[in-house]
Structures are given as structure tokens and as C-alpha cells.
Amino acid sequence: MESNDGEQGPIDNQAEMVGPQGEIVAPQGKTDGPDVAHGDNVQPGENDQVPIEAGSGTIGIRGPVPANTFRSRKHLAVAFGFSDGEALDTWMKSEAFRPYYSDLLTNLDKISGGGSGYSRRTIRLAGVKDAIIYEEENGAKRYSRLYQVDHFTSMDWFAVFVMHTAEHNFVNPRGAFFGQNMTPDDMRTRIWQAMLRARLETYRRRSRRK
């Protein structure tokens, strides 16, 4: 797929402190939830309204989306072109998303060395997109070939996840992006949002067990 070098959407300013298994880690070193990482103190409900940022227009399957779209099941469904939240849930449990997300967590866990000596770093979607362009369009195509994976960093594994998941959903008839006139940038942005949604749901489940 070709890459879009155009203007980045609001989500590109979004930064995450990523822990060994893809969880969000607060700057002080304390593992915390997605809302803390984004500087918010309020945990929204499943269908809370997501504010549309000035100049971004309405959410749809094309163009940028607000960085906090993942916090609303309803708005994330709209960003993917699904009819409702249940359709989004079904897709996230399907082969079009779940195996890729599980592999991401497994690979992040492997490079963490069991949690010892893991270097926390800020991962931005803009950086992931740049890594894909560098490796796939101008480099050795390490992500599509899964070449030299022993040297992959967390940034590399996030890039592999975003690229392969977007590709699957673009070429597979059951994929969310199949038959849609979408740019690679639009698809990768939405896959990133789905990943953040999956992490948010994991955080909520863990919080309820405490």
C-alpha cells in the first residue's frame, strides 16, 4: 500500500508511555489507565460524547479523527463505518483484529525480558507511521518480511501491528476497509484507535477486579 505523506490528523499528537505488555505507564513509573496518560482525571462511560475538535468536522471513515475517539464505543464504530457498537465489538473479536493485537502484546512481552530492564518510551502514532515509511518504502521492508525481528524495538512491533492489521482489513473481503476508498494513513489511524480501545477495555476489566 502506498503511504500518504499529507497533513497528520489530531491523533498524531497523542503519546503513550508503553509498558511490557502494551499497558500505559504514567510518567512517574506507575502503571495507570489511558485517561491518566492523556492528562484526564475522569473515566468516561461507554457512550460518553467525544468532542469533535475545532476544524476536524464530523467523524467518518475518511480523514483525521479526534485523538480521544477510542474512549467512545459509539464514535469509534462510526470512524470504522460500522452500524453500531456491537458490530465494532464483533470485529475486534474477529480474525481481522484479535490475532494481530494478541501478537503485539506477546512481542512486547518478549522484549520486556519479563519486566526487568525494560526501557519505557513514549510511542506516538506519528512515529509509527514514519517508521513504516522508512522501513517499507525507503528501507529493507523489515516489517513486511519480519526480518531481523530479534532486533525489533517496541516501536517496530507497534509498526508491524498497525501495518499488517490495516493490510488485512484492506484486502480481506471481511475486513473493515475492504472496498473502501481510504488512504493508508486513514486506515492506520483507525487501527491505532482500535488498539487504544482494546487497551482501555483491558484496563477497565482489571480495575473492576480490584
Determine which of 17-31, 125-139, 174-188 has the lowest per-residue pLDDT on average: 17-31
- The identity of residue 154, as a single letter, is S
When pLDDT is cut at 50, 70 and 90, the band that residue 208 belongs to is: confident
CA distances, 25 to each of 13, 117, 158, 171 (Å): 17, 15, 16, 34
**First CA to last CA across the chain, in angstroms?**
44
Grid coordinates given for 159: 509498526
Tens digit of each residue's pLDDT (9 = 90 or more) over 83-99: 999 999 999 999 999 99
pLDDT of 48 higher than 60? no
Q: Span 49-58, mean pLDDT?
A: 44
- The identity of residue 145, as a single letter, is R
Q: Span 29-56, mean pLDDT?
A: 34
Q: How far apart are CA 117 and CA 20, in angstroms?
A: 10
The answer to whether 97 and 91 have CB atoms below 8 angstroms apart is yes
The answer to whether 128 and 135 have CB atoms below 8 angstroms apart is no
When pLDDT is cut at 50, 70 and 90, the band that residue 121 belongs to is: low
Tens digit of each residue's pLDDT (9 = 90 or more) over 145-161: 999 999 999 999 999 99
Mean pLDDT taken over the chain: 76
Question: Which residues neighbour 43 within 8 Å (Cβ) at sequence distance 6 or greater?
Answer: 33, 35, 204
Collapsing DSSP to helix, strand or coil, 203 comes out as helix
Q: What percent of the chain has pLDDT over 70?
A: 68
